[in-house]
Chains A and B, each alone.
Chain A
Amino acid sequence: MTVTQHERVVRIGAGAGYSGDRIEPAVELAEHGALDYLVFECLAERTIAIAQQARSKDPELGYDPLLETRMHAVLPAASRNGVRIVSNMGAANPLAAARKTAEIARSLGLGGIRIAAITGDDVLDAVRSGDYRFEESGERVADYDTRLVSANAYLGAGAIVDALAAGAQIVLTGRVADPSLFVAPLIHEFGWRMDDWPTLGQATVIGHLLECAGQITGGYFADPGFKDVPALARLGFPIAEVGPDGAVVITKLAQAGGRVTEATCKEQLLYEIHDPRRYLQPDVVADFSAVHIEQEGPDRVRVSGGNGAPRTDTLKVSVAYFDGFIGEGQISYAGPGALARARLALDIVRERLALTGVQTHELRFDLIGVNALHGETLAAGSGEPYEVRARVTGRTASLAQAVRIGNEVETLYTNGPAGGGGVTKSAREVVAVQSVLLPREQVKPAFTMVEA
């Protein structure tokens, strides 16, 4: 299907691919992208649990820590150019995020903006009281009772579509499937049915391609001499030009850095998916297996052929829980004999942890620069590095035990091999995440409108 001149095209941009992403590319898109929508994906698997901890200390917190910075930066241009915003920056508290955004809009002289907060993803009570088992480990969730931090269902596009239909110019959500943040405005604009599986499958392809922002415009792609990308320091974020049947061209602003090619689109299409025929989403079971990708001009790539089958009866829920502590220490060696001294350092710490009775459930000894990333086998025979960094990390039941791991690395300064330098140490509590499947009827998405 070709997008012709007289066919209506909706332009969606991606303003962030993760919580800490660059700010200026989003402002650039709001200013110059001629966008209808700008979507910010900011919620990693564990982020919502951290936000939940913030909310439990202050009921007006629990939204994305960069929400204020992003809104201050992007709202003036978005408002001036009629760009609607969809984002999961609501994290563990979408209502507070909407109130804060309204406050920011008023302070910028942008009163009257309608901001919707999507709720219903918080299903901690349902998960706590039901008989559910973790998909990964098979353990009963109920057995984790006192350790549970949060449980959030991956919502689909539905409530966002409702909020847009009610006139929301900004929609802030908690946990929503990342592609659904993009699928929702397309359903709203083109009036697609919620059981038009092939079209929702193609829409999911679009959302999936855009959700990591710069990862499709040349970010996370460059490999000098093999895959070169210009101006990564000024990387532009992507724009999707979508037609009424879901036909799409992925592109970027001409003045922005990066590039959009068949290769960048293919890498992103397969990013974080398993079976390409069955990509399970709350709106549809998407099928990427027949997706066709074709360069139609410089930095313009046409993507077609996404398909879909009926959605499943369950929603995935990410359950976060306290999972003990991790302690870590690192020290560097360089020059002749660096590798032998680093190995000796690891041996000493291993023996010290045993001698002094540090209680650990799991220990790991790495040589950064040698075997820390790919293991011993692939490292073998690649020659001795000039510099190497010894790293010891372990899992413990208490913070006090975790601290002792880093301390034993630090004592190598005066008790270990010659020439060790640059010690760092840390100890932290772990919030781990596993998932359960919850029947859809247990989840009740809704929106609340806040006016600036």
Chain B
Amino acid sequence: MKLRELAHSRTGDKGNTLNISVICYDARHYEHLRAVLTPERVKAHLGDVVRGNVMRYELPAIAAFNFVLGDALGGGVTRSLALDAHGKSLSSALMGLEVEAPVGG
């Protein structure tokens, strides 16, 4: 299934660094996503646009993760040549990631 069916997301930018939140619709899926949605997997999925490291911060109190992606904005929004200089559309790229279905739905 696509990650989009389990979680929602918003992208933010600061300088040349991007953050993408992943927020479970159902808090019961938090541990499942914690197991399958590793920073390595996110980095591999977004490989064309993220050149730097991917860090994952965990927020169990709201059943969410915050992924912080380095060197992801072509030098930063103020100088990037990209059409989407803020990288705002990248939350949708992550939502298209194929993930294993949680056991028990």
A interface residues (Cβ-Cβ under 8 A, vs B): 45-46, 135-136, 220-221, 223, 226-227, 263, 266-277, 288-293, 305, 320, 323, 326, 362-364, 366, 368, 372-378, 391, 393-395, 430-435
Complex Cα gap A432–B12 (Å) = 18
CB contact list, B5-57 vs A, under 8 A: 8-10, 12-17, 19, 21, 23, 25, 45-49, 55, 57
Q: Which residue of B lies closest to A46 (CB)?
A: B78
Complex Cα gap A268–B12 (Å) = 10
Of B48, B55, B89, which is in contact with the most chain A CB atoms at under 10 Å from its CB? B48
B residues less than 8 Å from A377 (CB atoms):
47-48
Task: Please determine whether A136 and B15 come into contact, CB atoms closer than 8 angstroms.
Answer: yes
Task: Please determine whether B81 and A272 come into contact, CB atoms closer than 8 angstroms.
Answer: no
Q: Which residue of A lies closest to B47 (CB)?
A: A377
Task: Please determine whether A433 and B76 come into contact, CB atoms closer than 8 angstroms.
Answer: yes
Total A-B contacts with CB atoms under 8 angstroms apart? 125
Complex Cα gap A282–B25 (Å) = 33
Q: Which residue of B lies closest to A262 (CB)?
A: B62
B residues less than 8 Å from A394 (CB atoms):
81
Task: Please determine whether B23 and A305 come into contact, CB atoms closer than 8 angstroms.
Answer: no
B residues less than 8 Å from A271 (CB atoms):
10, 12, 19, 21
Of B9, B49, B76, B78, which is in contact with the most chain A CB atoms at under 10 Å from its CB? B78
B interface residues (Cβ-Cβ under 8 A, vs A): 4, 8-10, 12-17, 19, 21, 23, 25, 45-49, 55, 57, 59, 61-62, 64, 66, 68, 75-79, 81-84, 89-90, 92-93, 96
Task: Please determine whether B16 and A267 come into contact, CB atoms closer than 8 angstroms.
Answer: no
Nearest Cβ in chain B — how far from A383, in angstroms?
14
Task: Please determine whether A263 and B23 come into contact, CB atoms closer than 8 angstroms.
Answer: yes
Q: Which residue of B lies closest to A215 (CB)?
A: B10
Known A263-B8, A267-B21, A273-B66; 16 more pairs at CB < 8 Å: A270-B12, A271-B10, A271-B12, A271-B19, A274-B14, A276-B57, A364-B81, A373-B89, A374-B48, A377-B48, A378-B93, A393-B81, A431-B78, A432-B78, A433-B76, A434-B15
Complex Cα gap A284–B86 (Å) = 27
Task: Please determine whether B76 and A136 come into contact, CB atoms closer than 8 angstroms.
Answer: yes
Complex Cα gap A213–B88 (Å) = 17
B residues less than 8 Å from A270 (CB atoms):
10, 12, 19, 21, 23, 59, 64, 66
Nearest Cβ in chain B — how far from A18, in angstroms?
12
Complex Cα gap A378–B10 (Å) = 19
Nearest Cβ in chain B — how far from A320, in angstroms?
8
Please judge, given known A-B contacts A226-B8, A263-B8, whether A293 and B62 are in contact too, CB under 8 Å: yes
A residues less than 8 Å from B78 (CB atoms):
45-46, 320, 323, 430-433
Complex Cα gap A187–B51 (Å) = 42
Task: Please determine whether B82 and A364 come into contact, CB atoms closer than 8 angstroms.
Answer: yes
